[in-house]
Amino acid sequence: MTDGSGLPAFFRLHGFAELDSTNEEAKRQAASGAPAGTLISALTQRAGHGRRGRVWVSAPGNLYMSILLRPERSVAASAQLGFAAALAVGEALLPLLPAGAELAYKWPNDVLVDGRKISGILLESQAAGEGRIDWLVVGIGVNLASFPETSEYPATSLAAAGAAPVALEALLEAVARSFHFWYERWLLHGFAPLREAWLARAHGLGRPIRVRLPEGESEGRFAGLDKEGALLLDIGTARRRITAGDVFPAAR
């Protein structure tokens, strides 16, 4: 793939033709002491995964990358870096999209083009004790060439959205550069600037949504994000704070 020369000095790129999963490789490297900024990419994944063990379809031609970080922050605060990754993907994709295409962020960490999922982000971490983090892996998949036709939430790719062609390495570098920008802002200023940028393109804000939770489904109005990144769901006069779940349009 790329020699990494277009990347900020923070990153050390390890490019693979094929892996089980770039997140798994990043976790293996984390366990053997790899530093923050280790960046793993693969042309295809045999066992790409999403949240809760779901499959991430990983055909050749799409982007699969994982960034290893060791922020001196809590596990809970570090989850906010999923928003940094979504913003990075969004900023990398925007200049490629045709006029009139709509790019939006879907809580917690998806990126949508014209209402369809073009990118998924998976955060995995290990605590070091006292709520601190040992390592955090930010895994990012972006569909350039292909997408699954039968996913539960409709999907798309850059090609299907009519975007300008882009080389994998150019997109990897653009995502990494933008992620690094948002990571530094987060280290310096906390979640507030990420929250503001994310909300400016939030999918379904102010509208009725359905959230699937481990204990069942909840419907309400998507009222925004709290200052930690939790989704705020207004159900009648009550406001519920949701930290994990899957968002769909409301049934009614």
Residues found near ligand BT5 in the complex (CB under 6 A) = 21-23, 45, 48-51, 54-57, 64, 66, 110, 117, 120-122, 139-141, 143, 147-148, 151-153, 155
Looking at the Cβ atoms of 44 and 193, the one nearer to ligand BT5 is 44
Which residue in 124, 137, 143, 144 sits closest to 179, CA to CA? 137
Q: Among residues 51 and 132, whose Cβ is nearest to ligand BT5?
A: 51
3-state secondary structure of 239: strand
Per DSSP, the chain holds a count of helices (H) and strands (E) of 5, 12
Rounded to whole angstroms, the Cα distance separating 160 from 147 reads 9
Give bridge partners of residue 179 from the DSSP assignment: none
Q: E strands of the chain, at which residues?
A: 12-19, 38-45, 63-69, 103-106, 110-113, 116-129, 132-142, 208-213, 216-225, 231-235, 238-242, 246-249
For ligand BT5, the closer of residues 141 and 192 by Cβ is 141
Q: Which residue has the tokens 């031609």?
A: 61
CB of 131 to ligand BT5, least distance (A): 24
Query: At its nearest, how many Å lie between ligand BT5 and the CB of residue 193?
Result: 24
* Nearer residue to ligand BT5 within complex by CB, 26 or 225: 26
Nearer to ligand BT5, 12 or 132 (CB): 12
